[in-house]
């Protein structure tokens, strides 16, 4: 069964989610990659605070188009590899009261502990589904640090509708990534002994 | 100018139009997964995305990859002519958002903004006797490139010796370590022998083969088939969510090695396997997958 969620999301609602749940996410979310995470941990800027409160961070470096009227459109916007933000993610979530992270590949123990402590989950997007995800972006609300960070690394504040996701790490300490790694390692051991 | 336009169209097709053999393999993978599983949902999203990208002429994946060109050209032509046309086409394709700017100077951190830089796009030239031109292109994503790896046999930690059994072991190890991180289900290219450099090159060149195209030698073809079955038993599945399809195919080739060395290079291509070719014969341009 698919669960529909809209930001802002309460802690109570996020704690109801468990690994394997399919979610269609709507509302305002914020893209952030390596430079943005480093900045949020080192300088804790306030300019992004209201956008992030009870919202979701999206690990994404989009292809964007500037329209003639000066507005922006997302052309292709799939997830990027999340594990690069592992040193920062838990701190960012707790500092800014973020309810979830969208990315690909999953994250590590430090982030999983952060999810448990502060009430957040990992939403896995389909890597490579750039066009489909860009089509769920209804409008670009704001862009911050564009000059300094460049297109892929800027904070893009976007409104999405029915962004398809799967919860692969929840706020109760479960991770599909850990489960699959354990199981596949067992199978590999058998195969290697053949 | 015509050559530049032909290459621009090649880039557009590669970025936006997934080859039919890959799409078919993904459809079959979708049908194998049970109703209501996350794996099936992922394949459904993938297939819908492929269709949308083709219809809208927008990139399948926002990581439009590194540009890898293989050119066969007739005697009398200059390499420079092709290099210039490729660079101009790459610049224009980036402006048209067929490509994301993906050429970064590793020293300054500056993105050239055009996909043109030092040894970027990568172009492999080959002169042949035919009076025609063939240009083959791969757009290879960065996430899948990061899970590629190279082994030096023997490898005592895996108990892998210098034989087909040892080769099989390191391939299983590489796919296990990749998990879903290379945007599985992946296609695996393997280069056996050669040196540090040429083993990787050979592994990449396997990506010009089509799904199901077996190696002409029986032993290698059988290893490819056996590995396809074994790797799909790992259960890593699409995006690493668990599932029945972890790899779409395994392509292996070999070359002679130095007596002291035994390299096995493994390249991983994401499910968004972007491969296109064009031919120019008697002034006519035609495209292929």
| B207-243 tens-digit pLDDT | 999 999 999 999 999 999 999 999 999 999 999 999 9
What is the pLDDT, as a whole number, of residue B1?
Answer: 57
> Cβ of A134 under 8 Å from any chain B Cβ?
yes
> Mapped to the 3 state alphabet, what secondary structure does B69-127 carry?
EEEEEECCCCHHHHHHHHHHHHHHHHHCCCCCCCCECCCCCCECCCCCECCECEEEEEE
pLDDT digits (tens, 9 = 90+) for A20-63: 999 999 999 999 999 999 999 999 999 999 999 999 999 998 98
Report the interhelical angle of A176-193 vs B218-233 (nearest 10°).
Answer: 140
**B18 in a domain, yes or no?**
no
Give domain status of residue B47, yes or no.
Answer: no
**Residues B148/B170, Cβ–Cβ less than 8 Å:** no
**Same-domain check for residues B97 and B185:** no
3-state secondary structure of B25: helix
Position B19 in a domain: no
Residue B231 lies in a domain: yes
**Residue segments in chain B with a per-residue pLDDT below the cut of 50:** none
Specify if B24 maps to a domain: no
Is residue A59 annotated as part of the catalytic site, yes or no?
Answer: no
ipTM of the complex: 0.92
Q: Containing H/E element for B192?
A: strand B186-192
CB < 8 Å from B in window 27-56 of A: none
* H-run or E-run covering A93: helix A86-96
Pair B130, B226 in one domain: no
Q: Which helix (H) or strand (E) holds B13?
A: helix B2-16
User: Is the Cβ pair B58, A168 closer than 8 Å?
Assistant: no
In angstroms, the CA B231 to CA B247 distance is: 7
Rounded CA-CA distance B210/B222 in Å is: 17
Count H helices and E strands in chain A, helices first.
8, 9
pLDDT tens digits, one per residue of B167-220: 999 999 999 999 999 999 999 999 999 999 999 999 999 999 999 999 999 999
Tell me whether strands A63-66 and A72-76 are parallel, antiparallel or unpaired: antiparallel
So what's the pLDDT on residue A4? Answer: 97
Q: Which of A63, A76, A126 sits opposite B45 (nearest CB)?
A: A126
CATH of domain A2-193: 3.20.130.10
In a shared domain, residues B245 and B166: yes
> Is B169 within a domain?
yes
Q: In chain A, which among 144-183 make CB contacts under 8 A with chain B? A: 150-152, 164, 166, 168, 176-177, 179-181, 183
- Residues B165 and B254 placed together within one structural domain of the fold: yes
The answer to the question of residue B23 being in a domain is: no
Please check whether residues B118 and B166 belong to one and the same domain.
no
**Which of A77, A135, A179 is opposite residue B52, by nearest beta carbon?**
A135
B242 and B191 in a common domain:
yes
A189 to chain B, any CB pair closer than 8 A? The answer is: no
| DSSP-derived pairing of the beta strands A137-144 and A121-124 | unpaired
Beta strands at B66-74 and B122-128: parallel, antiparallel or unpaired:
parallel
Interface of A with B in 114-133 (CB under 8 A): 124, 126-133
Asked whether A114 and A171 are in contact (CB, 8 A), the reply is no
CA B77/CA B87 separation, integer angstroms:
17
Give the count of beta carbons closer than 10 Å to the beta carbon of residue B81.
Answer: 11
Identify whether residues B127 and B8 lie together within a single domain. Answer: yes
Test A176 with B242 for CB contact under 8 angstroms: yes
- Other residues' Cβ atoms within 10 Å of the Cβ of residue A147: 8
Q: Structurally, how many domains does chain B consist of?
A: 2
- A37, A59, A124, A177: which is the annotated catalytic residue? A37
* B217: in domain: yes
Question: From CA A167, how far away is CA A118, in angstroms rounded?
Answer: 17
Residues B119, B161, single domain; the answer is no
- CATH assignment at residue B107: 3.30.1330
Secondary structure of A28-41 in the HEC alphabet?
A: EEEECCHHHHHHHH
Q: B125 lies in which domain range?
A: 2-13+60-141+274-288
List chain A domain ranges.
2-193
């Amino acid at each position: 069964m698919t669960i529909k969620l809209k930001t802002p999301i309460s802690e109570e609602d996020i704690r109801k989610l468990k690994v394997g749940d399919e979610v269609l996410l709507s509302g305002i979310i914020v893209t952030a990659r390596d430079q943005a995470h480093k900045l949020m941990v080192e300088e804790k800027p306030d300019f992004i605070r209201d956008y992030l409160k009870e919202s979701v961070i999206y690990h994404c470096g989009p292809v964007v188009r500037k329209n003639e009227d000066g507005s922006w459109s997302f052309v292709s916007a799939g997830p990027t590899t999340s594990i690069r933000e592992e040193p920062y993610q838990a701190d960012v979530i707790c500092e800014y009261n973020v309810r979830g992270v969208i990315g690909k590949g999953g994250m590590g123990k430090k982030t999983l502990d952060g999810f448990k402590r502060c009430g957040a989950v990992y939403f896995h997007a389909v890597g490579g589904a750039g066009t489909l995800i860009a089509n769920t972006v209804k409008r670009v609300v704001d862009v911050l640090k564009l000059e300094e960070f460049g297109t892929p690394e800027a904070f893009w504040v976007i409104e999405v509708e029915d962004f398809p996701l799967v919860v692969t790490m929840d706020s109760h300490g479960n991770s599909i990534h850990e489960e699959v790694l354990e199981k596949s390692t067992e199978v590999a051991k058998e195969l290697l002994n053949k | 100018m015509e050559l530049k336009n032909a290459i621009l169209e090649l880039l557009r097709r590669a970025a936006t139009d997934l080859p039919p053999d890959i799409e078919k393999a993904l459809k079959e993978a979708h049908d194998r997964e049970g109703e209501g599983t996350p794996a099936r949902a992922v394949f459904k999203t993938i297939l819908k995305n492929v269709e949308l990208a083709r219809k809208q002429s927008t990139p399948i994946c926002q990581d439009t990859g590194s540009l890898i060109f293989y050119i066969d050209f007739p005697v009398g032509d200059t390499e420079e002519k092709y290099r210039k046309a490729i660079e101009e086409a790459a610049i224009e394709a980036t402006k048209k958002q067929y490509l994301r700017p993906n050429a970064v100077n590793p020293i300054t951190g500056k993105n050239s903004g055009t996909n043109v830089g030092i040894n970027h796009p990568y172009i492999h030239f080959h002169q042949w006797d035919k009076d025609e031109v063939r240009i083959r292109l791969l757009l290879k994503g960065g996430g899948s490139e990061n899970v590629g790896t190279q082994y030096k046999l023997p490898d005592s930690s895996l108990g892998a010796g210098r034989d087909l059994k040892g080769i099989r072991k390191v391939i299983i190890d590489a796919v296990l370590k990749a998990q879903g991180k290379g945007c599985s289900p992946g296609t695996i290219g393997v280069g056996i022998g050669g040196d540090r450099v040429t083993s990787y090159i050979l592994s990449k060149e396997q990506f010009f083969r089509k799904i199901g195209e077996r190696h002409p030698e029986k032993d290698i073809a059988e290893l490819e088939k056996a590995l396809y079955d074994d790797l799909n038993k790992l259960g890593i599945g699409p995006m690493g969510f668990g599932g029945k399809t972890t790899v779409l195919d395994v392509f292996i080739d070999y070359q002679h090695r130095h007596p002291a060395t035994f390299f096995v290079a493994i390249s991983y291509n994401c499910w968004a396997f972007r491969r296109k070719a064009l031919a120019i014969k008697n002034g006519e341009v035609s495209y292929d997958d």
